[in-house]
């Protein structure tokens, strides 16, 4: 941003293992876009992401937005892992 004020900064993060200080640092850094991929539907979470929790990922996205509403938040999901159409 110091070199080019027109640049867009997007970051993709892990779930930080529920470490709130990491979430605070991201919000204070003020990226233009914050991305944390949910990856799959709740039913498959334990199988696909055994060390993660679906609702923690949602909490992370919500918390970033609450801490800095001007940050655009987004997420991604993989399909073809056994999810049903209704679950997406």
Best CA proximity match to 12, nearest among 35, 33, 29 = 35
Task: Supply the pTM of this predicted model.
Answer: 0.86
First and final C-alpha spacing in the chain: 37
Best CA proximity match to 29, nearest among 68, 73, 60, 59 = 68
For 59, the 3-state DSSP assignment is: helix
pLDDT at 19 over 90: no
Q: Are the CB atoms for 74 and 34 separated by under 8 Å? A: yes
State pLDDT tens for residues 25-52: 999 999 999 999 999 999 999 999 998 9
- Domain range list for the chain: 10-79
């Amino acid at each position: 941003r110091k070199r080019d004020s027109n640049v867009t900064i997007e970051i993709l993060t892990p779930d930080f293992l529920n470490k709130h200080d990491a979430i605070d640092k991201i919000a204070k850094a003020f990226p233009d876009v914050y991305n944390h991929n949910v990856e799959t539907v709740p039913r498959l979470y334990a199988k696909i992401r055994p060390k993660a929790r679906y609702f923690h990922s949602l909490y992370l996205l919500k918390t970033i937005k609450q801490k800095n509403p001007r940050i655009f938040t987004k997420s991604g999901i993989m399909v073809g892992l056994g999810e049903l159409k209704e679950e997406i």
